[in-house]
Amino acid sequence: MATVAVPQLSGYRRPAVLEWITTVDHKRLGILYLYFTLFFFAVGGILALLVRTQLAVADNSFVGNDAYNQIFTMHASAMLFLFIIPVWAGFGNYLVPLQIGAADMAFPRINALSFWMLPPAGILMFAGFIVDGGAADGGWTAYSPLAQQTGVGMDMWIIAVIVLGMSSTIGAANFLVTMFRMRAPGMTMFRMPIFCWTMLVTALLQLLATPVLAAALVMLFIDRNYGGQFFDPNGGGNVVLWQNVFWFYSHPAVYIMILPGMGIVSEILPVFSRKPLFGYKAFVFATIGIGGLGFSVWAHHMFTTGSVLLPFFGFMTFMIGVPTGVKIFNWLGTLWGGSISFPTPMLFALGFVSMFLIGGINGTYSAAVPVDFALHDTYFVVAHIHYVLFGGSVFAVFGGLYYWFPKIWGRKLDDRLGKLQFVLMFVGFNVAFFPMHMLGLDGMPRRIAVYAESTGWEALNMLSTGGAFLIAVSMIPFLIAVVMAFMRPKDQPNDPWEGNTLEWATTSPPPDYNFDSLPPVRSERPLFDARHNGEGH
Amino acid sequence: MGRVPLPRRFRLFTALIASALLALLVTGTASAIQPGGITDEARKMNDLFWIVTIAGLVVFVLVAAALVYALFRYRRTNDELPPQFHGGGAIEMAMVGVPVLIVIGLFTISMITLVEIDDPAEDDALTIEVTGFQFSWQFAYDLSDLGTNTDPNAEGTIAVIGTPANDPVLYMPVDEPVEFKLISNDVIHSFYVRDFLYKLDLIPGRENKFTVTARELGDFQAQCAELCGTDHALMRFVVRVVERDEFDAWVADEAARQLGEGARVSTSGTQGD
Amino acid sequence: MAAHTPAGHQGMTNSMLGFILFLASEVMFFGGLFAAYFIARADAPAWPPESLLTPEQIADGVKLELEVVLPAISTGILVLSSVTMQWAVWQIQKGNQGGMLWGLFISLALGLIFLVAQLYDYTQLHFRADDTIFGTTFYTLTGFHGAHVAGGALFIAVVTVRALGGQFTAENHEAVEAASMYWHFVDVVWIALFTVLYIIG
Ligand code: HEM
Ligand SMILES: [Cu+2]
Ligand SMILES: [Cu+2]
């Protein structure tokens, strides 16, 4: 069944800038989210290069200890709070209404509000660099009492994170209502595209976990500014309370940071294997399971505090490996027996699968409590984080960009440049982060500004720094591809990839209100059904 | 959509994957030299480390092999639609069952290790009170609590206090359980000795304890593992494991220096052969 | 443009569902604060933790004591306002605008009385937010609750103004229902607070 493109409806014209600022259209807001988050990806990346430069050689004095603490704290804060969490809101904003065949999000104006909370928060957080005492420097985890000691930059950080949290909380409610209430006729919950499902579970986690972070930050703010005693043992407070409340949010948050990435990969693999996602329902239940278990494992970040129930949290953490394993099977099963092609989005998706596999395996090391005693707070954990968040989430971001670029901007990114980027990034990533496993095992703690030459850590650190710069280089072909794409006219058909889901049923880019007409939805792959008249079901 | 496989590009891709795998394998074997450990506890943790590693490697190799195989075997060679397989029953059960088994196995083994390493010291074991502060360490020895050779009538405490520029040395005797009491009065620090394969946090308002028995002599580099401010990276120290009589001699020296010649210390009499 | 009739969801509107989700996040926020309170209590040798007071604090006349009578009356007031608020909803469901207006006015007035009483109560206490974890948790919990009461009162005020403009009918009065729901939420949080801080405390 074919759909017809409608010409863009246009009312009166306002200046373009004004139109972007006042827009409540989910597509434009999605694009704004993407620009905003990619900007902070670049900022966070530059900070990362500073970190790696400092660590390249032993006893380095490139940046001082004080500056170093600010730099790595702001690196993580930018990457997590200003890039990876909101980037999914960007993809989600653009794609969820399209994928469920809706005209917009449930609450377009609240949607705009969610977005416009981000820039002030980002500016506030980074303005820390120009105030007395510098930016926040207690790590993104802001452990108290250390977080009580730093200057006003820390207060700015706290407020910024609260605002970002509010943005994602109301954004989450918006996504949930949109998905619960605005699906196209025929689209039951179990026919919803898998990306939407991952956004749904992500939104639930955000809705329920983010307010707890807000509570923690409020307490920290009160302790810092009004003499509060929440985290001060002299006044009856409890130092470890911060960690409990912080991780009650932040463990679910690590899934907030990756579930939509899994969703993107699970959209891409079937399309380029020409098969349905293997075990769609199992995937959905695994996603829900991860979400649920995510609330019961927070203390695995606190095994070395001597204050947590080790067997319980060890067990629950291992259990998270089960739904994670299920997903690996989902992806393998999707490829198996398929007819696989390898355009750039597929390469990034495969990069995700392989790197996430490593990130799952090295996570188990820390789930084994006695091993974690050795590895906690060492570079091994840094390796783990990056295998899941970079090898996982960031690869998914780029996969998603290459995949939906034609839909969003009506042009394709050059495939050869894309492959070049992938190769550079994949190699650079592994060179940068694999050695960190060994550094961690060899005893290098994380968050140190300098190490002595006698430690013998220099060679691997140098290697890792080289890899980091290779990752930076891999952004060049990407930028060239983007510029080249924008120099071309919009020439993309509705469905350049033989897609499965509804966004491919409308023009590229879609008109205001998205659809002229919708194909019937009888499975989770309405466009596949339309192409093949439902065979295969 | 375009036609079929681009064999050249495809080879590029597989070559890439293969070389990455190879690189991982190589560096992986390099890290094979890792853990180890010098205490009884560390040796048990080392065993667990290897079990986890082997399990992890097996999973990795199997999955990676399946992945690479699938990419080769099922690359697009014609424009036909492959069988549309959605999954089902038995396979999906296996998808859950296999990880469950692996995970339960690893959990059980790690709990056994946890119990084994977690035996509190006898009351009469040597106790070292470790205080972390921004940005160094203090190691205090109560002369009436020196373990094997304690003179119950000894009085006083000796202490080693470091600075960020001058790493303190923590003396401990070999082959006997030593209990560490961890205290902090400013922010959180973490007592981390790489060759113990162990760390435990020093938390204001809490007293954490652990016990180890060192089995190797020598100097071991160690440092704070919890971000604690500007000079966190300089919170280093050295663990010096020595024979008991050397330890006693050191205590005697320090006691004489710190408490004056008259102090009674534990080294009297029991020095053995 | 395709028409999307939300299949099988009569009754609750999107806005109402969104609002309920928002309330769920509020519950989690207070949950975080309550958790802090319970952990503090579990850690404390006694409650109130008088033993933590420094000699200077004692010399300053700090006493970790709560006055229960006024808050008990306040509790009654807030519960009553919840009832009147619900009454307003029932009235407009029957199309009775006048009845609704009375309900809104009374609820608003009771809410404001509650706030004033709480502020007065603050002035009568002999401890501040920086006097041990007792003071910190007390003022944080009641303060954030008070802020929510103020927010709820503002919400009711806006609804009242709209009601005066005759904007609500038996069919169309979602804002009234939302305000009422929010008000019940604030009420329930207070009852939890009162129980925990005053009765068990
Ligand atoms: C099989 C699945 C996983 C397991 C068993 C696991 C386990 C763990 C454990 C036990 C830790 C604490 C390590 C320590 O600090 O000693 C940890 C840290 C971490 N994990 Fe995972 N993890 C898994 C998947 C993920 C995923 C999917 C993400 C994110 C996308 C993630 C992100 C992180 C981050 C960011 C930290 C470090 C937080 C910090 O200290 O700053 N993990 N993981
Ligand atoms: Cu976690
Ligand atoms: Cu430190």
Q: Quick one: tokens of B58?
A: 């097996």
pLDDT tens-digit map of A129-173: 999 889 999 999 999 899 998 889 999 999 999 999 999 999 999
CATH of the domain at B194: 2.60.40.420
pLDDT tens-digit map of A394-453: 999 999 999 999 999 999 999 999 999 999 999 999 999 999 999 999 999 999 999 999
- Closest to A136 measured CA to CA, from A238, A40, A220: A220
Q: How far is A401 from chain C (nearest CA, A)?
A: 27
Residue B197 is assigned to a structural domain of this protein: yes
Query: Which other chains touch chain C, taking contact as 3+ CB pairs less than 8 Å apart?
Result: A
Does the beta carbon of B112 lie under 8 angstroms from any beta carbon of chain A?
A: no
Q: Is it true that the peptide bond before C144 is cis, omega within 30 degrees of 0?
A: no
pLDDT tens-digit map of A160-215: 999 999 999 999 999 999 999 999 999 999 999 999 999 999 999 999 999 999 99
Question: What is the number of structural domains in chain B?
Answer: 2
Q: What is the pLDDT of residue B33?
A: 54
Higher-confidence residue of B261 and C114: namely C114
Question: What residue has token string 């140098």?
Answer: A462
Residue A353 is assigned to a structural domain of this protein: yes
Cβ A386 under 6 angstroms from ligand 1: no
Å from CA of B227 to ligand 3 middle: 4
Same domain membership, residue B236 and residue B157: yes
Predicted confidence (pLDDT) at residue C5 exceeds the cutoff of 50: no
pLDDT tens-digit map of A82-130: 999 999 999 999 999 999 999 999 999 999 999 999 999 999 999 999 9
Q: Is it true that the peptide bond before A519 is cis, omega within 30 degrees of 0?
A: no
Q: How far is A11 from chain B (nearest CA, A)?
A: 36
Q: What is the pLDDT of residue B117?
A: 87
The structure's pTM equals 0.92
**Cβ–Cβ below 8 Å for B200 and A438:** no
Same domain membership, residue B235 and residue B140: yes
- Closest to A443 measured CA to CA, from B45, B130, B221, B188: B221
Tell which atom from ligand 1 comes closest to the C-alpha of A258: 30
**Cβ–Cβ below 8 Å for B91 and A336:** no
Q: How far is A247 from chain C (nearest CA, A)?
A: 12
Residue A8 is assigned to a structural domain of this protein: no
Per-residue pLDDT of chain B (273 residues; tens, 9 = 90+): 444 444 555 666 666 666 666 666 666 565 555 778 899 999 999 999 999 999 998 999 999 999 999 999 999 998 889 988 887 777 778 778 888 999 999 999 999 999 888 877 677 889 999 999 999 999 999 988 888 877 777 788 999 999 999 999 999 999 999 999 999 999 999 999 999 999 999 999 999 999 999 999 999 999 999 999 999 999 999 999 999 999 999 998 998 888 876 554 444 333 333
Cβ A194 under 6 angstroms from ligand 1: no
Please name every residue paired with B208 in a beta bridge, in sequence order, or none if there are none.
B182
Nearest-CA residue for atom 12 of ligand 1 = A301
Same domain membership, residue B160 and residue B228: yes
Same domain membership, residue B40 and residue B62: yes
Å from CA of B167 to ligand 3 middle: 13
* Among B residues 124-183, those touching chain A with beta carbons less than 8 Å apart: none
- How many Å apart are CA C21 and CA A173, to the nearest integer? 6
Q: Is it true that the peptide bond before B168 is cis, omega within 30 degrees of 0?
A: no
Query: Is residue A102 a contact partner of residue A156, using CB atoms and an 8 Å limit?
Result: no
Q: What is the pLDDT of residue A304?
A: 93
Q: What is the pLDDT of residue B90?
A: 78
Question: What 3-state DSSP class applies to A341?
Answer: coil
Count Cα neighbours of A372 within 13 Å in the Cβ-side half-sphere: 26
Predicted confidence (pLDDT) at residue A382 exceeds the cutoff of 90: yes
Same domain membership, residue B247 and residue B223: yes
Q: What is the pLDDT of residue A476?
A: 97
Helices (H), A226-309: 239-256, 259-273, 280-293
Query: Is residue C22 a contact partner of residue A175, using CB atoms and an 8 Å limit?
Result: no
Query: Which other chains touch chain B, taking contact as 3+ CB pairs less than 8 Å apart?
Result: A
User: What's the Cα-to-Cα distance from B108 to each of A321, A370, B94, B102, B113, rounded to whole Å?
Assistant: 15, 12, 21, 10, 9
Specify the pairing of strand B136-142 against strand B189-193: unpaired
Distance of CA A284 to the CA centre of its chain: 19
**Cβ–Cβ below 8 Å for B99 and A339:** no
- How many Å apart are CA A11 and CA B57, to the nearest integer? 61
Burial class (CB in 10 A: 0-12, 13-18, 19+), C62: buried
Count Cα neighbours of B129 within 13 Å in the Cβ-side half-sphere: 12
Cβ A367 under 6 angstroms from ligand 1: yes
Task: Report chain A residues whose CB lies below 8 A from the CB of C14.
Answer: 106-107, 177, 181-182
**Cβ–Cβ below 8 Å for A208 and C128:** no
Same domain membership, residue B91 and residue B63: yes
Domain enclosing residue A386, as ranges: 22-531
Cβ A343 under 6 angstroms from ligand 1: no
The CATH topology of domain C32-200 is: Four Helix Bundle (Hemerythrin (Met), subunit A) (1.20.120)
- How many Å apart are CA B113 and CA A318, to the nearest integer? 16
Question: What is the number of structural domains in chain A?
Answer: 1
Tell which atom from ligand 1 comes closest to the C-alpha of A303: 16
- How many Å apart are CA A451 and CA B196, to the nearest integer? 20
Percentage of residues in chain A having pLDDT higher than 90: 88
Give the residue from B96, B117, B138 where a domain finishes: B117
pLDDT-derived band at C116, boundaries 50, 70, 90? very high
Residue A14 is assigned to a structural domain of this protein: no
Q: What is the pLDDT of residue B16?
A: 65
- How many Å apart are CA A103 and CA B94, to the nearest integer? 41
- How many Å apart are CA A275 and CA A152, to the nearest integer? 54
Same domain membership, residue B172 and residue B48: no
pLDDT tens-digit map of A430-441: 999 999 999 999
Q: What is the pLDDT of residue A112?
A: 96
Same domain membership, residue B233 and residue B139: yes
**Cβ–Cβ below 8 Å for C4 and A185:** yes
**In the sheet that B157-161 helps form, which strands lie side by side, from edge to edge?**
B157-161, B136-142, B126-133, B177-184, B208-213
pLDDT tens-digit map of A491-510: 999 999 999 999 999 999 99
Predicted confidence (pLDDT) at residue C99 exceeds the cutoff of 60: yes
pLDDT tens-digit map of A22-63: 999 999 999 999 999 999 999 999 999 999 999 999 999 999
Output the furthest CA–CA distance in chain B (Å, rounded): 95
Please name every residue paired with B128 in a beta bridge, in sequence order, or none if there are none.
B141, B180
ipTM for the predicted complex: 0.92
Same domain membership, residue B132 and residue B95: no
DSSP state string for B35-64: ---SBHHHHHHHHHHHHHHHHHHHHHHHHH
Q: Quick one: tokens of B74?
A: 């099922």
Q: pLDDT averaged over chain A?
A: 93
Q: What is the pLDDT of residue A347?
A: 97
Closest ligand relative to A75 C-alpha: 1
Query: Is residue B201 a contact partner of residue B182, using CB atoms and an 8 Å limit?
Result: yes
Q: What is the pLDDT of residue B144?
A: 86
Cβ A384 under 6 angstroms from ligand 1: yes
Question: What 3-state DSSP class applies to C109?
Answer: helix
Q: How far is C38 from chain A (nearest CA, A)?
A: 11
Domain enclosing residue B96, as ranges: 8-75+87-117
**Helical (H) or strand (E) element with A181:** helix A152-181
Residue A7 is assigned to a structural domain of this protein: no
- Closest to A75 measured CA to CA, from A135, A165, A15, A32: A135
Question: What residue has token string 């420097």?
Answer: A137
Tell which atom from ligand 1 comes closest to the C-alpha of A254: 29
pLDDT tens-digit map of C50-73: 888 888 888 888 888 888 899 999
Cβ A381 under 6 angstroms from ligand 1: yes
Q: Quick one: tokens of C79?
A: 């519960």
* Total residues belonging to chain A: 537
Query: Is residue A304 a contact partner of residue B199, using CB atoms and an 8 Å limit?
Result: yes
- How many Å apart are CA A91 and CA A269, to the nearest integer? 17
pLDDT tens-digit map of A269-291: 999 999 999 999 999 999 999 99
Closest ligand relative to B228 C-alpha: 3
Q: Quick one: tokens of A175?
A: 């996504």
